[in-house]
Amino acid sequence: MGKPARQDGASSLTPSVASDSFKLLLSSGCLLAGVTHMAFGVLFYQAKVLPMAQVNIASVLIYVLAILLLRHDRVALALFMVIAEVAAHAVLAVIAVGWESGFHYYLLIVIPVYLVNQVNKWPFKIGFATFIGAAYVALDWYWRKAEPAYQMDLGTLAYLHRFNLVTTIAILSGLTVLYVHLINQAEDRLHELATTDSLTGLLNRRSMLAALSHEQAVRQRQPHDTCVLLVDIDHFKKLNDSYGHNMGDWALKAVAEVLEAGVRDMDLVARWGGEEFLIVLPFASRDTALAVAERLRTAISDLRFPSKDHTLRVSATLGLAELRADERVDQAIQRADAALYRGKDNGRNQVVVG
């Protein structure tokens, strides 16, 4: 509730997020490759190219093992196995049935997959990509006109060439789409981490400041009633000192849930700092905001926290201020803060209007 939309140009992938994304990318590639090699095994068996049928059975097993390794975070070993399999299969297939079969195309898949991995450093990745490119050129140079070990009829060879070309394009396209999707997911997650409080899930102070600037601009274009509420948990330091930080965190999360559940979708709720929360109520009069504040105060007072020997209760003091026509939002927050401290001085567990 009250969380700002994701902005364009979100930050790039962090190493941990990128690593998870690459693992999923590689796992998906292994699954696609395994299915493809099963089809190749059947084709070579029917064409009586039995050595290549056996090679494809081994390839399927390699991809199954690679997926299992990825599930156990053995990314480097899985990547090595995949790269070695693709290179070996491409070379063996070209030797077996010729360059015109199109198996050399699969070497091209290796380069983009290897470049986006988070396991190796860039100098090594660039060097390896250069090596694969050189190997592809060398394979073309030597085997384009060489006699294959097994002769296949021209019709089957042409079909195999087109199949390999289309499959290569499909795999590259699919992996590209998947990687873009993973990047967007990671950016959304990073944006959420940057704008929300990790403990309560509410907006953090920085995000709320941006939202307040937006609200100020909206009020200038379209004047309307706006109220701010500062909520401070009573005796929070004593709660932390007496019962530990775990109980304090529990109280913060419980109060945050009460606040978020007790306001409208358009309202903004943030953890303002420590045990203090800030609520912005746009298009709400002072009377409306006062009713909301009393309802929230009562709901917080009804919270119960089981302890070892008894049940704990918490309360909160709330300071309310309605924005004046010529007033900035931060000035209204200062008035709400002053009202809150008057409530603290007068016994706590109350709503005070500033």
Q: Which of 201, 186, 220 is nearest to 118 (CA)?
A: 186
HSE value, Cβ hemisphere, 13 Å, CA-based, for 235:
13
Q: Tokens for 163?
A: 């199949």
Of the candidates 275, 276, 294, 327, the residue annotated as catalytic is 275
What residue type is assigned to position 281 of the chain?
L
Give the distance between the most distant pair of CA atoms in the chain.
97
Q: 21-38 as b/e, with b when 16 or more CB fall inside 10 Å? A: bbbbbbbbbbebbbebbe
Q: Which residues pair with 282 in a beta bridge?
A: 226
Which are the contacts of 123, defined by CB distance < 8 A and separation ≥ 6? Answer: none
Q: Tell me, what DSSP letter sits at residue 323? A: P
Q: φ, ψ for residue 311 (rounded to 5)?
A: -100, 130
Q: Tokens for 47?
A: 């064409």
Contact 139, 91 (CB under 8 A): yes
Tallying the residues shown for the chain, one arrives at: 354
CA–CA gap between residue 318 and residue 344 (Å, rounded):
9
**Residue 275 annotated among the catalytic residues of the structure:** yes
Cβ atoms < 10 Å from Cβ of 128: 16
Q: Which residues pair with 322 in a beta bridge?
A: 227
What end-to-end distance do the CA atoms of the chain give, in Å?
A: 26
Q: Which residues are catalytic?
A: 275
